[in-house]
Amino acid sequence: ILNVEQSPQSLHVQEGDSTNFTCSFPSSNFYALHWYRWETAKSPEALFVMTLNGDEKKKGRISATLNTKEGYSYLYIKGSQPEDSATYLCAFETNNFNKFYFGSGTKLNVKP
Amino acid sequence: NAGVTQTPKFRILKIGQSMTLQCAQDMNHNYMYWYRQDPGMGLKLIYYSVGAGITDKGEVPNGYNVSRSTTEDFPLRLELAAPSQTSVYFCASSYSGGRDYEQYFGPGTRLTVT
């Protein structure tokens, strides 16, 4: 069983604050690292798929970086808005039959 | 496109009963997955399939069975339901094995076993 850890477990910020979370994963058998945004009562939605060490991806105010050698990825949100409130999941995809291992998520609450 | 659909949305089962959770996708995706989500936990992979006729176990397969007779459908069978199987079940699909391809998730099935 693979360990994918996310920190912090939850985060409360004020509107306009910038914030970041961490996803730690094994540095071996790496194939891809996925970030998802999961709003309450909805299904997870893909944010980024990252495959190369040093990758940086950006979508609006959200960006992510990847370090496969040390086994971590950061997700950044610049100028948080209340609509950013959600759980952010990362998933480690192995090069062994493309299995996915999810972290338990970081729950973000942005107060207006 | 309807995307990934799951039925039923909710179900209550008695201990020892059986049921099949249905999952279908209309995106011609090769890869399909079943996950369960327990309170405070992330998603755990139950079974996955890389194409019609091919399935394999994930992290938590015990108590479940799957089949993949068509590209579109990937039903999950619970035999002899147990309280430990109370969870929210998500089906997902992707075109290929994830790299550069997103997983699309269904709306989930909330199952309670009492």
Residues B58-113: pLDDT tens digits? 989 999 999 999 999 999 999 899 999 999 999 999 887 555 678 899 999 999 99
pLDDT value at position A25? 96
Residue A41 has pLDDT above 90, yes or no: no
Q: Is B100 on the interface with A (CB under 8 A)?
A: yes
- Characterize B40-63 residue by residue with b for buried, 16 or more Cβ atoms within 10 angstroms of its Cβ, and e for exposed: eebbbbbbbbbebeebeebbbbee
DSSP 8-state assignment for residue B10? E
Compute the distance between CA of residue B104 and CA of residue B95 in angstroms, rounded to an integer. 9
pLDDT value at position B98? 55
Chain A interface with B: residues with Cβ < 8 Å: 1, 4, 6, 31-32, 34, 42-46, 49, 51, 89, 91, 93, 97-105
pLDDT value at position A42? 87
Mean pLDDT of B5-19: 96
The number of residues in chain A equals 112
What is the percent of chain B where pLDDT is above 90?
81
Mean residue pLDDT across chain B? 92
Q: Are A72 and A22 in contact (CB under 8 A)?
A: yes
Residues A29, A99, B94, A33, Cα dihedral to 10°: -40
Which residue from A minimizes the CA distance to B41? Answer: A104
Which residue from A minimizes the CA distance to B9? Answer: A41
